[in-house]
Amino acid sequence: MRPGLRSFLGTVCGMALFLTAALAMGDESTQTIASRNLASFDDPATAGDWIVQGSKFATQGFPQMQLVRAWPEALYGRNKTSKTLFSLGVHAKFDRKSYNFIEIIPAAKDSSGKLQPRGVPIPGRVKAIDMWVWGSNYNYTLDVHLRDYRGIDHVLHMGSLLFAGWKDLSTTISGAIPQARQYIPRYAGLEMTKLVVWTAPDEKVDDFYFFIDEINVITDLFETRFDGEDLADPDSLNTLWQQGSK
């Protein structure tokens, strides 16, 4: 084969492979970027549906959690008398220093009215997550746990709580965390399963507070449309199947 023809065929084959990969992974590099709120804590009827629990050295009766009329002034200003905004407050105590932790878990009430853990679905393919946190200058850190469609939890480090007052903490989502499948339906969104505050082993832990507000994500909402996409939706497919000819 002539060198020029071999080079041409190699280029054509390379382009074909590139296009095939692009079609297969097209939804992994989409363009409709938007901000979405996962939790704002401003509706007392639902914002309190969270579970808080501490590790084994937690003082009896702690940690405690409740909604508090406090918020980041950077977002809403200072006039507290004219606003009915809330944040999620946690009061914690431990009996000894260690790698103690506090888990803040989203929940929903079951048929008996008891709170049960539930993941918070994240719309689209999430790029970043951020939240406002009030710290009191303790050497603690905050993690967020995201669960993928395979049931695997991924731990993302939001940052240190070694600061005073409100601060916006954020982290990006690694491309190694799957948010799509090879097969239809391709979209496979993440869920936020919990927030975890860790204490440094040499830090004071006998009495402290922290507050969380406005958990948001930056996410890609674009989905490639295709002929017959109603058959990719499990609910639509089930309805069509039930209505089909036996």
The CATH architecture annotation of domain 29-223 reads: Sandwich (2.60)
Q: What is the pLDDT of residue 186?
A: 82
Outline where DSSP puts E strands in 3-69: 33-39, 50-54, 64-68
Residue 17 has pLDDT above 70, yes or no: no
Q: pLDDT (tens digit, 9 = 90+) per residue, 71-98? A: 999 999 887 777 789 999 999 999 999 9
Confidence of residue 2 (pLDDT cuts 50, 70, 90): low
Closest CA to 204 of 142, 160, 140: 140
- Asked whether 85 and 69 are in contact (CB, 8 A), the reply is yes
Direct distance between the N- and C-terminal alpha carbons of the chain, in angstroms, rounded to an integer: 58
Segment 99-103 mean pLDDT: 98
Q: What is the pLDDT of residue 7?
A: 53
Who's near 181: CB < 8 A, 6+ residues apart? 149, 187, 188
CB burial of 14-33 (b: ≥16 within 10 Å; e: otherwise) equals: eeeeeeeeeeeeeeeeeeee
Residue 68 has pLDDT above 70, yes or no: yes
Q: Give the start-to-end residue ranges of the domains of the chain.
A: 29-223
Who's near 50: CB < 8 A, 6+ residues apart? 65, 88, 104, 105, 106, 107
Residue 19 has pLDDT above 50, yes or no: no
Q: What is the pLDDT of residue 243?
A: 86
